[in-house]
Amino acid sequence: MSNDENTPVLRGCIKLPLANDELLEVTSKAKDYAIMHGAAMRSKTAFSPDSLNFAPFVLVPSSFPRKEFEKAIALQPIINRLMHNVAHDEEFITTTLAETIKVDEFTANLFNIYRKVLAHGFTQRISLGMLRSDLMLESCCPELSPMLHHVENNMAASTATAAAPAPATTTTVAAATAGGGGDDDDDVAEANGKVDNVGIVRATKSAYCCWKQVEINTIASGFGHLGPASKTIQSFVLRELGHAEKLKHMPKNDALAGLCDGMVKAWDIYGKPESVILFIIEDISYNICDQRFHEFYIRETYPHIKVLRRTLTEVHREGKLGQRKELLLGTTEVAVIYFRAGYEPAHYPTQGEWDARYLMETSLAIKCPSIHYHLAGTKKVQQALAQPAVLERFINDPEEIKAVGKIFTGLYSLDDNDAGNANYEMALRTPEKFVLKPQREGGGNNVYGVDIPDALKRMTRVERSAWILMDLIHPPLSQGYMVRPGSEMPPQIVDMVSELGIFGVVIGDADTIVHNYQAGHMLRTKLSTANEGGVAAGLGALDSPYLIDSDGEEGYY
Q: Which residues bind Mg ion (CB under 5 A)?
A: 215
- DSSP for residue 300: H
Cβ at position 251, least distance to Mg ion in Å? 21
Tell me the C-alpha distance between 235 and 225, whole Å: 16
Q: Considering beta carbons, is residue 377 or 480 the nearer one to Mg ion?
A: 377
Helix ranges (DSSP H) in 306-406: 312-318, 351-361, 371-376, 379-385, 398-405
Tell me which of ligand ADP, Mg ion, none is bound by residue 374, counting a contact when its beta carbon lies within the kind-specific cut-off of 5 to 8 angstroms.
Answer: none
Q: Which is nearer to ligand ADP, 59 or 472 (CB)?
A: 472
Q: Which is nearer to Mg ion, 215 or 326 (CB)?
A: 215
**Pairing assessment for the beta strands 478-483 and 493-508 based on DSSP bridges:** antiparallel
Between CA 534 and CA 129, with CA 103 as vertex, the angle to 5 degrees is: 50
Coil vs helix vs strand at 501 = strand
Q: How far is the CB of 541 from Mg ion (least distance, A)?
A: 15
Phi, psi of 337 (to 5 degrees): -115, 125
Q: Which does 185 bind (CB under 5 to 8 A by kind): ligand ADP, Mg ion, none?
A: none
Buried b (16+ CB within 10 A) or exposed e, 243-281: beebeebbbebbbbbbbbbbbbbbbebbeeeebbbbbbb
Q: What's the min distance (Å) between Cβ of 442 and ligand ADP? A: 5
Report the residue number, 132 or 246, with the smaller CB distance to Mg ion: 132
Which H or E element spans position 159? helix 159-163
Confirm if 538 and 493 have CB atoms less than 8 A apart: no
Q: Which is nearer to ligand ADP, 96 or 363 (CB)?
A: 96
Which does residue 473 bind out of Mg ion, ligand ADP, none, counting CB within 5 to 8 angstroms by kind? ligand ADP
- Nearest approach in angstroms of CB 42 to Mg ion is 21
Q: From CA 94, how far away is CA 110, in angstroms rounded?
A: 12
Cβ 468 to ligand ADP shortest distance, Å: 10
For residue 459, the minimal CB distance to Mg ion (Å) is 22
Q: For residues 290 and 441, which CB has a smaller minimum distance to ligand ADP in the complex?
A: 441
Of 329, 371, 440, give the one whose Cα is nearest residue 116: 371
| Closer residue to Mg ion in complex, CB, 215/353 | 215
d(CA 166, CA 6): 9
Residue type (1 letter), 61: P
- Least CB distance from residue 503 to Mg ion, whole Å? 14
Question: Residue 386 touches which of ligand ADP, Mg ion, none (CB < 5 to 8 A by kind)?
Answer: none
> Binding partner of residue 97 among ligand ADP, Mg ion, none, CB under 5 to 8 Å per kind?
none
With respect to ligand ADP, which residue has the nearer C-beta, 276 or 436? 436
Closer to ligand ADP by CB, 218 or 285: give it: 218
Minimum Å distance from CB 384 to Mg ion?
18
For residue 325, the number of C-alpha atoms closer than 13 Å in the C-beta half-sphere is 14
- Given the complex with ligand ADP, which of 219 and 256 has the nearer CB atom? 219
Q: How far is the CB of 377 from ligand ADP (least distance, A)?
A: 9
CB of 436 to ligand ADP, least distance (A): 10
What does 435 interact with, of Mg ion, ligand ADP, none (CB < 5 to 8 A by kind)?
ligand ADP
φ and ψ at 143, to 5 degrees?
Answer: -75, -20
Quick one: CA dihedral 400, 403, 404, 406, positive or negative?
A: positive
CB-closest chain residue to Mg ion:
215
Whole-angstrom Cα distance, residue 14 to residue 493?
13
Query: Of these partners, ligand ADP, Mg ion, none, which one is at the site of residue 469 (CB under 5 to 8 Å by kind)?
Result: none
Q: How far apart are CA 405 and CA 75, in angstroms?
A: 11
Burial label for 213, CB within 10 Å (0-12, 13-18, 19+), is buried
User: Where does this chain bind ligand ADP (CB under 6 A)?
Assistant: 134, 214-215, 435, 437, 440-443, 445-446, 470-473, 499, 532-533
Cα-Cα end-to-end distance for the chain: 26
Residue 226 or 237: the one with the smaller Cβ distance to Mg ion is 226
491 binds, among ligand ADP, Mg ion, none (CB under 5 to 8 A by kind): none
* Residue 445 contact, options Mg ion, ligand ADP, none, Cβ 5-8 Å cut-off depending on partner type: ligand ADP
Do the Cβ atoms of 137 and 71 come closer than 8 Å?
no
Closest separation between CB of residue 194 and ligand ADP, Å?
22
- Binds 446: which of Mg ion, ligand ADP, none (CB < 5-8 Å by kind): ligand ADP
Q: Which does 60 bind (CB under 5 to 8 A by kind): Mg ion, ligand ADP, none?
A: none
